[in-house]
Amino acid sequence: MQNIAIIFPKPGRIVIEKCSVQRPGRNQVLIKTRCTLISIGTELTVLSGKFPRGSTWDRCFKFPFGPGYNNIGEIVEVGMDVDRDMIGKRVATYNPHEKYTVADVESCRPVPDGLTDEQAVFFTIAEIVMNGIRRGAVTWGESVAIYGLGLLGQLAIRISHLAGARPIIGLDIAQSRLKYLPDLPGVIGVNCADSRWFDRLKDLTKGRLVDVVFEVTGKADVIPKELRILRKEGRFVILSSVSGKTSFDFHDLCNRPSYEIIGAHNASHPSIATTQNPWTQERHAELFFDLLKEGSVNVDMLISHKRSYQEAPELYGMLLENRTQAMGVVLEW
């Protein structure tokens, strides 16, 4: 049995490598991957190599690098301390793009029957967004604006709608991304390339501006401009993993309007559930799967490409050239 993995040997290069299959340890399982989802923002940032030297990005992502953290597969072998009834179970893990992958059994999220692999593979994106919506304390009746309508932004639109926010304004400069917005009451797309976009946003919020803004572009240099639409004492949530630095006037853009600036990295999930905060990554994944099953959230329309892993080099090349050509890119194994 031979393994196959997608590797970034150096910036700008993608290869498919044959390698040995790792055996599971005592509390681990061996998973045969069914599908994975490309995280366009994170993976392209790493692949491009365009992040500041000495930054967290530089310390965490070393070449050669095995990308990916959205994996759906079937358990085919278990370690000595794992119940053999786990064999054959479908699970979601943060494991990379590879045909056979090993994970600690405690890190596996059970995927319920009734969901396709392609639906379940969005679980990591959903966990990140759900954590961001909670940290942003979005509640019913508040207006929300989301800058950047990639996968994170698209899920943020949908989860904000479930939280009762109205209106929910999706902002992007790519018309192709606006077309992925769901047909839901109170969800409006605005193209920031339109010279009158700010006037339209003011009209949509009845002149009040926005209660909560989510930054999901990942572009450091646009952040100061994004605060322009936030009302006084509003909340600004950094949901993207921004790469690079920006010049920021804390007096005009934080102190005087008394904005609350909130970081919402996936790592800020609690490591264990408590009565004060039960919303771990695992609990959010469970909720996401429940929402998919009941039809409250639909991700089918977000899948723009479903291809064999063998086409990965071409797909990454296409994304590097223009990522707005795609949304959810699913690799089949």
Q: pLDDT digits over 3-49, tens only?
A: 999 999 999 999 999 999 999 999 999 999 999 999 999 999 999 88
Summarised one tens digit per residue, pLDDT across range 155-192 is 999 999 999 999 999 999 999 999 999 999 999 999 99
Under a CB-based contact definition with an 8 Å cutoff, are residues 297 and 288 in contact? Answer: yes
Number of domains in the chain: 2
Residue 54 pLDDT grade (very low, low, confident, very high; cuts 50, 70, 90):
low
Establish if 10 belongs to a structural domain. yes
At 175, list the tokens. Answer: 């018309």
DSSP 101-138: EEEEGGGPEEPPTT--HHHHTTHHHHHHHHHHHHHTT-
Same-domain pairing of 135 and 262? yes
Residue 195 pLDDT grade (very low, low, confident, very high; cuts 50, 70, 90):
very high
CA distances from 45 to 26, 176, 240, 271, 282 (A): 35, 21, 12, 27, 26
Q: What is the spatial distance between Cα 97 and Cα 121, in angstroms, rounded to a whole number?
A: 12
∠ at Cα 329 (93, 104), nearest 5°?
A: 10
Give which of 75, 211, 80, 71 is closest to 141, Cα–Cα.
211
Establish if 287 belongs to a structural domain. no
Query: The domain containing residue 218 runs over which residues?
Result: 125-268
State the chain's mean pLDDT as an integer. Answer: 96
Same-domain pairing of 238 and 249? yes
